[in-house]
Amino acid sequence: MYNFFENLEKGLKKSIDSEPDKTNARKKYSHAVAGLGKKLYTENEKIAWCGALAPFDILNAMNITTCFVEFIGAMLTSTGLGESFMKEAEDHGYPMDSCGFHRAVTGAMLKNVMPEPDFLVATTSPCVASLTVLENMARHYKKELFVLNIPQQKTKAGIDFLADQLEELTGFISLKTGKKISQDDFEISFAHTNRSRELMIEIYDLAASKPSPLNSKMMKDFGLVMGLFLGTEEGVKICEAFRDELKEKVENNIPGIKNERIRLLWLHSRFQFKNNIEKQLAENFGANIISDELNSVSWKPLDPEKPYHSIAKRMLSIPFVQDSETMVNHLKNMAEKYQVDGVINPAHWGCRQATGATGMISSGLKEIGVPVLNLDTDCVDTRNFAEGQIKTRMEAFMEMLSNSKSPWV
């Protein structure tokens, strides 16, 4: 895996350097992701496997190389190796009804192709399944596991509870690494996070332009993966690259795709295996995925004077942590902001958190005239991805949208 990430990083660097005047944010982002992958497989790095809502700003400030387990599941799938790892997990008794992201990473653990962590940090949200994967990994590697209990209610009691645990977590990491986090570390890390936050708001505003300067692939899974770079200068640079590219396109009226006719919001996760759905949507229907569910900023700037409470508030502000009504209202706001004509929800098999609200999301968005296409499919396991059926349903949805009046007229 080290070689894979190293080659990927080198290839992207070469491509970026060959066209220094061209701003290609996605390549820079992919380069950073490949660099992170390489670091995860580099000896002598301090590694922590985490839940998706772990406080990556703190981990980065404490020089921990880290990522959430679903990221590895997605990477394995994108390289075409996902299925063999999922089968490995299934052979050990992990059922196909469980999440494919988690099965892939579990299989990689069982085949010993995951880098051994120094410790693990689980988060009880967004899903219980991620927690169980990290528990299994802690057992497998005989490493300590820290669990962040994330309540659903964003009340003072909930914030205090989470803030206390975050403070405990820094103590735990200090014990593991010998490094303590100082006020200066918080100042620097939070300055990067807050700058990234400002840029992300700018990016999302630019993406909402009509026509959008994005194409469907440009910001794919951006909001989720960007979490890994919070608190770092690299994160700021990635955001600057996207902001600059989008700004230039908007100022020069360069659309992301030709003849944008249908604007879409994509929920949960994109398909992580190779597919040409986005391309076909654009070519055949002028349909453009303007935003992903997690491409949004729901939190206020972090305050280095109150580091743990700031991060706790951010974690609890993430819509999928909260109840379905809050989540649906958030999606309604996104639909309005991006003026989308329709929403695609790939109801990822095995994900109770995301698919559990499928019906409520559909009816909520219907209230504002935005139709939702619910696909019973899998974002990583191609064995649960009936390509022909998915394409037929998408085509029917696009035809319906093409013949419908925009909800925003």
Partner 1 sequence: MKKRAYAGFVCSYTPLAVIDAAGLIPFRIFPETDSPQHAGTLLHDNVCPHVKKIIDRAMSGDIPDNMETVIFMNSCDAMRRASDAWKKAKPDQKVILLDLPQTRSGSASAFFSGELKRAAAFLAPDTQDIEAKILESQTMLNAVAKKINHLKEKNRSGKLKNGSVIIQKAYNFIASNPPGLSLEYIDNIIEEESCSNGSKTKLFLMGNMLHSPEAFQMFEDSGISITDDDICTGSRFISKFNIDEKDVFTSLADEILSKPPCARTFDSSSPGSIGVELAGRVKISGADGAIMHVMKFCDPYLSRIPIIRDEFKKQNIPLLILEGDTSLGSIGQQKTRIEAFIEMLG
Cα separations in angstroms, 312 against 47, 60, 106, 154, 210? 23, 17, 29, 9, 35
DSSP H or E stretch at residue 1: none
Contacts with partner 1 by CB under 8 A: the residue count is 51
> CA-CA distance, 339 to 341, in Å (whole number)?
7
Nearer Cβ to partner 1 (41/349): 349
User: Which 8-state DSSP code applies to residue 303?
Assistant: -
CA–CA–CA angle 55, 353, 319 (5° rounding) = 55
Length of the chain, in residues: 409
Min dist. Cβ of residue 366 to partner 1 (A): 12
83: its two tokens: 């299925």
In this chain, which stretch among 65-73, 223-231, 290-298, 357-365 interacts with partner 1, using CB under 8 A? Answer: 357-365
Rounded least distance, CB 60 to partner 1, Å? 23
Closest CB 158 distance from partner 1, rounded Å: 7
* Distance of alpha carbon 105 from alpha carbon 102, whole angstroms: 5
Stretch near partner 1 under the rule CB under 8 A, chosen from 71-79, 204-212, 278-286, 349-357: 349-357
Give the one residue of 97, 388, 403, 409 binding partner 1; rule: CB under 8 A: 97
SS3 (DSSP) at 391: helix
| Among 63, 84, 153, 402, contact with partner 1 (rule: CB under 8 A) | 153
Name beta bridge partners: 376: 347
Cα–Cα distance list, 235 to 32, 71, 247 (Å): 9, 17, 18
Asked if 371 is part of the footprint of partner 1 (rule: CB under 8 A), the reply reads no
Q: Which position among 63, 112, 149, 174 is part of the footprint of partner 1 (CB under 8 A)?
A: 149
Nearest to 119 by CA among 142, 96, 145: 145
| Positive or negative: CA dihedral 292, 293, 294, 296 | positive
Residues 315-334 that bind partner 1 (CB under 8 A): 323-325
In this structure, are residues 247 and 203 in contact, taking their beta carbons and an 8 Å threshold?
A: no
Q: Which of residues 274-313 bind partner 1 (CB under 8 A)?
A: none
Q: Which of 85, 94, 229, 397 binds partner 1 (CB under 8 A)?
A: 94
359 binds partner 1 (CB under 8 A): yes
Closest to partner 1 by CB, 339 or 358? 358
Q: Restricting to residues 105-134, which ones interact with partner 1 according to CB under 8 A?
A: 122, 124, 126-129, 131-133
| Amino acid identity for residue 218 in this structure | M
Where along the sequence are the contacts to partner 1 (CB under 8 A)?
Answer: 92-95, 97-99, 102, 122, 124, 126-129, 131-133, 135-136, 138-139, 144-147, 149, 151-153, 157-158, 161, 164-165, 168, 323-325, 347, 349-350, 352-353, 355-360, 363, 376
